[in-house]
């Protein structure tokens, strides 16, 4: 029943077993370092190096990060999965740079390759006023809830998402808490007896309705 | 009262099957105050008789805005928030946050601090697995295991209390090392635990591993293949139960895990029983790691010497003006980290626990995000439970080992 593997990671599902890697018709992944992969992707998807152009030679703290335009995120994720074997979406989150509006948000993706133990990160800048980009749920099913969380917390819309509802906040909540212009605390607690009084003088962040 | 909106079935139409709208299948609410949902998890079930056709997890009942709160605190003060996320893995949460700070600051941690970190996180892993084992067995109607598990967990909590003064919310691991060195009785307590615990694991296994009722309730239930588990982002014991030997302690060693010998247990069945076997073996492997770390425990400081990030020892405050200045700066303004972002993953008892930390050069984090295994694993629940009985759903929830504080943050 149980097989104890020796210490080293020897993926049992790597390139020899075609069906196990993301796409059956995928090209055989090349053994490039993640920095080399980023050098392949950068001209193809009009990427920029993040946080500075020097990251092309020496990545910041060893993490390879590419900034790519929103319209390319699906094809970039597809390429990462099918051509380079990044079969695991480790993390998806966002960061708000308010009051800066151009760009205001970065959506941050962390991809991981189980077979080659490599990480690569993509960032998608989003400028005022259309905070939307395509969902990568069809490529990485795990993105479903991560994208819902980003939508809930930042109000970034993912087009083509199957179920874009709030996930952590109540469904009738107004505003997106992790935006930098959303106030933290200092709110009077509302109970049934004073709900309306407080509701009137409550600070209402000027967001578009979610 | 202002008007409150309600979610209608119409809004959830895309989640349920056609037959639910016709009234052929039943929609049933389970939780959020259901004892077997391990916290406040609400499941909306679509049932045909007793068979689960679809299951829609609804989370957020424990959402406390930890990420937002951390943005308003200095790096040091924000650390106590991390304990409150996954309350069964507090040491591990501190560790991932401190590793992220250390990576951004390029801060070195002394070897003794690293070894103590390893001992404590492995003890915490065992404690977390004990809670999982006890509650999971309780869900599957094996009552006594729960009592035995909590008896041993108490020993571990005593060790944590001995070090940090707190049983659960320790905040013992700090950026650049530890809060302070372990007390003299620490070594005896850990060795005592190492002596007792192997026999206790054998006891639990004697109760469950070949128990026909337990086998009936766990085998071939909640099966997921290796490919699906990867696509759905599973990690930790839940992924290893499907036969993928992926462990971040081996893949991206941190805190000197590369110096210790241990195996990655896997099971090939991918069902509840497979995940059970993996976790049981993992406790033994954790003991091996603790044993090696205790035997090779180096002497020396437990905090980095970099005064820009780590406060000076108390004894220096009365003799050195520099130390007073650093102490004052660190406890009022706090330290600033270089501008940039890092993502650091560690292996928590539940899977990949990642910390995304972004700094804008000020003393407060610009953005902290925790990629928590429970959040990701809850999303797989519909995949795991489709076609099984409601009674088995309870076992499936237990087998992916969720902590709602971890999922909702």
Residue count of chain B: 409
Contact criterion met (CB below 8 Å) for B80 and B58: no
CB contact under 8 A, B341 and A10: no
In a domain? residue A194: no
Residues ≥6 apart with Cβ < 8 Å to B317: B323, B324, B327
Which two structure tokens, joined as six digits, stand for B11?
Answer: 């809004």
pLDDT over threshold 60, residue A4 = no
Quick one: pLDDT at residue A89?
92
Mean pLDDT rounded to a whole number for chain B: 89
pLDDT over threshold 60, residue B387 = yes
Residues of chain A found within 8 Å of residue B265, distances taken between Cβ atoms: 2, 4-5
Which two structure tokens, joined as six digits, stand for B313?
Answer: 């020892």
User: Pick from B5, B269, B343: which is nearest to A63 by CB?
Assistant: B343
Q: Is any Cβ of chain B less than 8 angstroms from the Cβ of A144?
A: yes
Distance from CA of B184 to the nearest CA of A (A): 33
Quick one: pLDDT at residue B369?
93
In a domain? residue A197: no
CB contact under 8 A, B103 and A61: yes
Q: Quick check: helix, strand or coil at residue B123?
A: helix
Q: Is any Cβ of chain A less than 8 angstroms from the Cβ of B231?
A: yes
pTM above the 0.80 mark? yes
Quick one: pLDDT at residue A9?
42
CB contact under 8 A, A9 and B232: no
Model confidence at A50, pLDDT cuts 50, 70, 90, reads confident
Quick one: pLDDT at residue A203?
61
CB contact under 8 A, A2 and B345: no
Query: What is the tens place of the pLDDT at every residue in A155-168?
Result: 899 999 888 888 89
CB contact under 8 A, B250 and A8: yes
In a domain? residue A2: no
Identify the closest residue of chain A to B358 by CA–CA distance.
A95
CB contact under 8 A, A3 and B63: no
Which two structure tokens, joined as six digits, stand for A110?
Answer: 């962390």
CB contact under 8 A, B408 and A178: no
- Among residues A42, A168, A10, A203, the alpha carbon closest in space to that of B405 is found at A168
Q: Is any Cβ of chain B less than 8 angstroms from the Cβ of A7?
A: yes
Write the CATH number for A123: 3.30.460.80
| Rounded CA separation B373/B140 (Å) | 23
Model confidence at A210, pLDDT cuts 50, 70, 90, reads very low
| Rounded CA separation B121/B83 (Å) | 13
Q: Is any Cβ of chain A less than 8 angstroms from the Cβ of B354?
A: yes
User: Pick from A20, A95, A153: which is nearest to B366 by CB?
Assistant: A95
Q: Is any Cβ of chain A less than 8 angstroms from the Cβ of B72?
A: yes
Distance from CA of A40 to the nearest CA of B (A): 22
Residue A67, H or E segment: strand A65-67
Question: How does B331-347 read in b/e, with b if 16+ C-beta sit within 10 Å?
Answer: eeebbbbeebbbbbbbb
Q: What are the extents of the domains in chain B?
A: 9-58, 66-305+335-404
CB contact under 8 A, A20 and B226: yes
Q: Quick check: helix, strand or coil at residue B152?
A: helix
Percent of chain B with pLDDT strictly greater than 70 = 98
B24: phi then psi, degrees, rounded to nearest 5: -80, -30
Q: Is any Cβ of chain B less than 8 angstroms from the Cβ of A19?
A: yes
In a domain? residue A200: no
For residue A118, give its domain range: 18-174
Number of domains chain A is built from: 1
Query: What is the tens place of the pLDDT at every residue in B167-206?
Result: 889 999 999 889 988 999 999 999 999 999 999 999 999 9
Model confidence at A12, pLDDT cuts 50, 70, 90, reads very low
CB contact under 8 A, A196 and B1: yes
Q: Is any Cβ of chain A less than 8 angstroms from the Cβ of B210?
A: no
Model confidence at B373, pLDDT cuts 50, 70, 90, reads very high
Quick one: pLDDT at residue B199?
93
Q: Is any Cβ of chain B less than 8 angstroms from the Cβ of A36?
A: no
Strand A2-5 vs strand A48-49: parallel, antiparallel, or unpaired?
unpaired
Quick one: pLDDT at residue B366?
93
User: Pick from B7, B103, B265: which is nearest to A4 by CB?
Assistant: B265
User: Pick from B5, B59, B343: which is nearest to A121 by CB?
Assistant: B343
Residues of chain B found within 8 Å of residue A61, distances taken between Cβ atoms: 103-104, 106, 340, 342
Quick one: pLDDT at residue B126?
94
Quick one: pLDDT at residue A11?
42
Query: What is the tens place of the pLDDT at every residue in A54-109?
Result: 888 888 888 899 999 999 999 999 999 888 889 899 999 999 998 888 889 999 99
| Rounded CA separation A112/B261 (Å) | 25
Query: What is the tens place of the pLDDT at every residue in B298-351?
Result: 999 999 888 889 888 888 888 999 999 999 988 888 889 999 999 999 999 999
Q: Is any Cβ of chain B less than 8 angstroms from the Cβ of A188?
A: no
Contacts with A, B 275-314, CB within 8 Å? 277-278, 281
Q: Is any Cβ of chain B less than 8 angstroms from the Cβ of A52?
A: no
CB contact under 8 A, A114 and B277: no
Distance from CA of A71 to the nearest CA of B (A): 23
pLDDT over threshold 90, residue B125 = yes
Model confidence at A204, pLDDT cuts 50, 70, 90, reads low
Instruction: For residue B389, give the DSSP letter.
Output: B
Residue B95, H or E segment: helix B90-105
Q: Is 3.30.300.30 the CATH number for B66-305+335-404?
A: no
Query: What is the tens place of the pLDDT at every residue in B70-102?
Result: 998 999 889 999 998 888 999 999 999 999 999
| Rounded CA separation B381/B147 (Å) | 28
């Amino acid at each position: 029943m149980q097989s104890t593997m020796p210490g080293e990671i020897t993926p049992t599902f790597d390139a020899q077993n075609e069906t196990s890697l993301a796409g059956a018709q995928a090209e055989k992944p090349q053994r490039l370092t993640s920095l080399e992969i980023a050098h392949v992707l950068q001209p193809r998807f009009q990427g920029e190096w993040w946080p500075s152009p020097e990251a092309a030679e020496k990545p910041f703290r060893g993490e390879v990060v590419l900034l790519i335009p929103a319209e390319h995120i699906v094809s970039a994720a597809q390429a990462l999965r099918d051509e380079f074997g990044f079969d695991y979406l480790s993390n998806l989150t966002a960061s708000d740079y308010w009051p800066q509006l151009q760009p205001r948000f970065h959506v941050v993706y962390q991809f991981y390759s189980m077979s080659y133990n490599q990480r690569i990160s993509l960032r998608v800048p989003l400028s005022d006023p259309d905070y939307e980009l395509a969902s990568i749920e069809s490529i990485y099913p795990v993105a479903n809830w991560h994208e819902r969380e980003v939508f809930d917390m930042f109000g970034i819309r993912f087009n083509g998402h199957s179920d874009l509802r709030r996930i952590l906040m109540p469904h009738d909540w107004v505003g997106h808490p992790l935006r930098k212009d959303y106030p933290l605390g200092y709110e009077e607690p509302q109970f049934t007896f004073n709900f309306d009084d407080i509701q009137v003088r409550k600070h209402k962040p000027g967001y578009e309705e979610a | 009262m202002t008007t409150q909106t309600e979610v209608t079935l119409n809004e959830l139409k895309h989640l349920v099957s056609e037959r639910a709208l016709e009234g052929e299948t039943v929609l049933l609410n389970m939780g959020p105050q259901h004892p077997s949902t391990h916290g406040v998890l609400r499941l909306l079930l679509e049932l045909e008789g007793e068979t689960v056709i679809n299951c829609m997890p609804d989370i957020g009942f424990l959402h406390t805005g930890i990420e937002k709160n951390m943005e308003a605190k200095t790096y040091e003060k924000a650390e106590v928030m991390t304990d409150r996320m996954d309350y069964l893995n507090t040491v591990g949460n501190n560790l991932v946050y401190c590793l992220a700070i250390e990576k951004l600051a390029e801060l070195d941690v002394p070897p003794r601090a690293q070894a103590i970190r390893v001992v404590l996180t492995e003890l915490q892993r065992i404690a977390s697995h004990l809670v999982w084992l006890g509650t999971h067995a309780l869900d599957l109607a094996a009552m006594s295991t729960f009592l035995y598990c909590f008896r041993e967990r108490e020993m571990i909590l005593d060790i944590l209390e001995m070090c940090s003064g707190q049983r659960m919310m320790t905040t013992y691991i700090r950026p650049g090392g530890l809060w302070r060195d372990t007390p003299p009785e620490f070594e005896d307590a850990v060795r005592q635990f190492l002596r007792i615990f192997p026999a206790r694991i054998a006891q639990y296994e004697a109760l469950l591993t070949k128990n026909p009722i337990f086998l009936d309730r766990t085998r071939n239930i909640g099966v997921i293949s290796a490919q699906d588990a990867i696509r759905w982002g599973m990690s930790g014991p839940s992924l290893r139960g499907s036969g993928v030997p992926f462990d971040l302690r081996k893949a991206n060693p941190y805190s000197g895990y590369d110096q210790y010998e241990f195996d990655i247990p896997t099971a090939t069945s991918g069902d509840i029983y497979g995940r059970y076997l993996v976790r049981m073996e993992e406790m033994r492997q954790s003991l091996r790691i603790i044993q090696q770390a205790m035997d090779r425990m180096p002497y020396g400081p437990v905090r980095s010497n970099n005064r820009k990030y780590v406060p000076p020892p108390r004894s220096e405050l009365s003799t050195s003006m520099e130390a007073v200045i650093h102490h004052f700066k660190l406890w009022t303004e706090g330290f600033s980290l270089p501008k940039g972002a890092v993502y650091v993953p560690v292996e928590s008892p539940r899977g990949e626990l990642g910390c995304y930390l972004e700094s804008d050069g000020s003393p407060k984090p610009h953005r902290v995000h925790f990629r928590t295994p429970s959040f990701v694993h809850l999303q797989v629940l519909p995949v795991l439970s489709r076609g099984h009985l409601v009674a088995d759903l309870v076992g499936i929830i237990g087998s992916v080992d969720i902590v709602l504080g971890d999922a909702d943050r």
